[in-house]
Amino acid sequence: MRTARRASNVEVPSFLRQLVKETEKMVTFFFKGGSREKGPEEQENFDEDDDMPSPYLERPILEKHVSEGGSQSGVNYAVASMQGWRAQMEDAHTCMPHMRGELSEWAYFAVFDGHAGNTVAQYCSRNLLDHILATGGVKASEDPEQVKEGIREGFLEIDRHMHKLAHEDNWDRSGTTAAAVIISPHYVYFINCGDSRTLLCKDGQLVFYTEDHKPFNPREKERIQNAGGSVTLQRINGSLAVSRALGDFDFKEVDWRPQTEQLVSPEPEVYEVERAARDEFIVLACDGVWDAIGNEELCAFVRSRLQVCDDLREICTQVIDLCLYKGSLDNISIIIVCLPGAPQVSQEALQREAALEQHIDMKVEEIIKMMRSTDEDPDLLDVIKFLREEEIPGLPPGGGITSKRDCIIASYQKHIAALRTQEPMLSPATNNEKLKFDATPKKDL
């Protein structure tokens, strides 16, 4: 597929990669509005006093894994994932645009957000659908109540099976949330267990989304307390931040309570939504996305990108970049499933996007010239700060100026290079003082 606009393909120039610690620490401050990190001496002392290994890396792993596919029924998808700031990649996913046998017109997509390891997430990505189908509830004849019960029983069965394997094979103590959809010719079945999330956009509006299972939700809290646990610091026994998950067997050892009434329940919530010609797209994502952007914002952002880009993989990576620069510190995984009613690239939208990027380019040039006129060094981060304070019409809804980061970097690079061709030759020492830029965000500690 060709891309109408591949904003994130702009390479950060080598001189921007020359690290200056204090500048790097400021990037998240400008994008998130957060506080600055401790100074080098403070940070060094802090690290010496902290005996616990950090769950975060010193620098994020930015490599993205992307793929796409589709079916003859008009269901197309793309998936992208990135490890990010986390010390390990614990997400997994499954994409099946057409299922087997009599269910060849059905599709299945799922995101698994692992924690405390990736064993359970990986196992579920390979085997959950088989356990659901083994119940016999999912049939081409399609009784929605039977389908929902089959999904529920499939979750409970795979959890029982993994519980046995975990004891026999000495698995890690991991667990995973699960957000999935099963798409039939007539319905979309939305499945949620934990705090990953799915949503549906129809007619340009957010019309459905799943609710997170958090320990402080009244119904979840009641179950936890009935099983002898407590909710402290919004976590089960002060430890686990989700109240429903597959795995997490340390929280499922209350012998006198049934499987669905443990501290952590493997029971999903399942909803059926009748399909309509105006259905546009479905998003499935882990909480690395939802920690940074809300449901309506993401719905609006994806829809706006579909009108200027015909490559779903690129749109997925743009969402990941947006979440990273909005401050997400987690693994990030997203699946976008386009239905036959999805928006198409339009010439009008492309013209608006081109006009926006031209306006940003003009603003970057103005800011650099203004700073030069006051003998200030035109730092990339200062340019970003000024742009955040500007009223810029036409920014992508839900994304704002943050989503145009690559456009800003490209414009900054161009105008700085132009200025330097006009400057008298500087000594190497003076020139090095000018190269105090880096475009990689730093997490707040």
Q: Is pLDDT of 40 > 90?
A: no
Q: Taking residues 157-177, what's their average pLDDT?
A: 96
Would you place residue 434 in the very low, low, confident or very high pLDDT band (cuts 50, 70, 90)? very low
The one-character DSSP state at 37 is: P
Average pLDDT, the chain: 86
Q: How far apart are CA 272 and CA 263, in angstroms?
A: 27
Q: How far apart are CA 183 and CA 102, in angstroms?
A: 14
Domains annotated for the chain, with CATH where assigned, are 13-52+346-445 (no CATH), 54-344 (3.60.40.10)
Give 26-39 pLDDT, tens digit per residue. Answer: 444 333 334 334 44
| List of residues 6+ apart from 57 with CB closer than 8 A | 85, 86, 87
Give 234-246 pLDDT, tens digit per residue. Answer: 999 999 999 999 9
Q: Report which of residues 50 and 274 the model is more confident about.
A: 274
Closest by CA to 177, choosing from 222, 231, 128, is: 128
In percent, the amount of the chain with pLDDT more than 70 equals: 82
Would you place residue 375 in the very low, low, confident or very high pLDDT band (cuts 50, 70, 90)? low
Q: Taking residues 268-294, what's their average pLDDT?
A: 97
Q: State the greatest distance between any 2 C-alpha atoms of the chain, in Å, as a whole number.
A: 81
Q: How far apart are CA 369 and CA 130, in angstroms?
A: 62
Closest by CA to 312, choosing from 109, 13, 89, 176, is: 109
Would you place residue 419 in the very low, low, confident or very high pLDDT band (cuts 50, 70, 90)? confident
Give 205-224 pLDDT, tens digit per residue. Answer: 999 999 999 999 999 999 99
Give 298-340 pLDDT, tens digit per residue. Answer: 999 999 999 999 999 999 999 999 999 999 999 999 999 999 9
What separation in angstroms does the CA of 294 have from each of 81, 188, 300, 329? 19, 22, 10, 16
Region label for 234, one of left (φ > 0), alpha (ψ between -120 and 50) or beta (otherwise): left
Q: How far apart are CA 323 and CA 288, in angstroms?
A: 8
